[in-house]
Amino acid sequence: MNTVRLSMPVFFIVVSLGYAFLIMRLPTANLGDPYGPFYFPLFICIGLFIFSVVDFIQLKRSEPEENEELQLLLDPKLLKIIGVILALCVMYTAIFEIVGFLIATVLFLGALLFYLNGRTKWVLNLVVTAIFSFSAWYIFTQLLDISLP
């Protein structure tokens, strides 16, 4: 079980290195500080790398123990829920540009709530979907004057 726990910091070390590679490919700014676009993402990348290395070292020094939270995470029922939510997120990003913010958000949030809450709470699912989607659309487009697809 300790190898499963060690895989997380290793994963984030690799992600931070990949993120650093992508940061270095950012174009320099034409106005102001040419390296301005690098600072914040690089700060995040360095923080992720340092915390992942520290976590890895702490895990290597500690004795392997039974982790109940990790056991729960490896439960097939929970893995199915995570997989469905990831699939819904991928579909949301795929249709976002095609159908626009409002329709994509209604479809995504509705599907997510119906999956998590079930059909018995259909009124609550529809009300939350409608209120959140239209409120977010109104706030962005009307109050903040941000153009959404």
**What pLDDT is attached to residue 54?**
93
Total-model pTM: 0.55
CA 35 – CA 37 distance, rounded (Å): 6
Classify residue 92 by burial, with Cβ atoms within 10 Å: 0-12, 13-18, 19+. middle
SS in 3 state form for the chain?
CHHHHHHHHHHHHHHHHHHHHHHHCCCCCCCCCCCHHHHHHHHHHHHHHHHHHHHHHHHHHCCCCCCHHHHHHCCHHHHHHHHHHHHHHHHHHHHHHHHCHHHHHHHHHHHHHHHHHCHHHHHHHHHHHHHHHHHHHHHHHHHCCCCCC
pLDDT on residue 61 = 82
What was the pLDDT predicted at 40?
83
Taking each helix axis from N to C end, the angle separating 76-99 and 101-117, rounded to the nearest 10 degrees, works out to: 160
From first to last of the 149 residues of the chain, give the pLDDT tens digit: 466 677 888 999 999 999 889 888 877 777 777 777 778 888 999 999 999 999 999 888 876 666 666 666 677 788 888 889 999 999 999 988 888 888 999 999 999 999 988 888 889 889 999 998 889 888 888 888 777 76
